[in-house]
Amino acid sequence: MCMVPPLVRLASASAVFLGQHGDVSRHADQRGVSRQCLYRQADAVLRDLDASSHQRQIAQLRQQVAGLQVRLEHLLAQPSLAVAVTAEVQAQFASTAQAEGVKPRSG
């Protein structure tokens, strides 16, 4: 992740892609960075503006959302199989456990 402010990156890209001969060196000197730093920032701006990578990411996220929705529907359909632990069911469980010799846990 680039920590350079967006306007600085745009200025670098402008100097690299639209500047006259010597503008990259002049801009680098003014900012106190290397010319290579400006070229890297300009390349980063191009990558950020590349719509195809954003479209791929959106497609992946949509696919992930669709999968999660299917999973949610499946999980919401399962409670019909669940057993409600009411006071009556809990008492029955306790009496069965006691009849089988299970001692209550102390502590």
Give which of 60, 15, 18, 22 is closest to 39, Cα–Cα. 15
For residue 44 the two structure tokens come to 């980063």
Residue 5 pLDDT: 72
pLDDT band at 76 (very low <50, low <70, confident <90, very high): confident
Residue 2 pLDDT: 52
Kindly list the domain boundaries of the chain, sorted by start residue. Answer: 6-77
Q: What is the pLDDT averaged over residues 20-48?
A: 90
Alpha-carbon gap, residue 41 to 35, rounded angstroms: 10
For residue 34 the two structure tokens come to 């290397």
Is this structure's pTM higher than 0.85? no
Angle between helices 35-49 and 23-31 in degrees, nearest 10 = 100
Q: Which segment of 9-13, 57-61, 77-81 scores lowest on mean pLDDT?
A: 77-81
The total number of residues shown for the chain amounts to 107
